[in-house]
Amino acid sequence: MRPSLNALLADLARHGASLTLENGRVGVQGELPAELLLRLHRHRRDLLPLVERGVHLSRR
């Protein structure tokens, strides 16, 4: 996994977010700062296979 994607997953977990799959698209549940939403948007295609496999975020 790319370091930038791994860092994004760690930041999402720190903010208590959960990723969902909605109509074939990655969604997020939880309040996130704008910067984090932008990073999520940039990586949405990379996140799709992880969400489909059910990868869970763990808080660090």
Residues 14-58 have pLDDT tens digits of 999 988 888 888 889 889 999 999 999 999 899 988 888 877 665
H or E, element range at 21: strand 18-22
More confident residue, 1 or 40: 40
Among 26, 22, 24, CA closest to 12: 26
H or E, element range at 3: helix 3-14
Residue 15's pLDDT is 94
**Has residue 60 got a pLDDT over 50?**
no
Please tell me the pTM assigned to this model: 0.79
Residue 58's pLDDT is 53
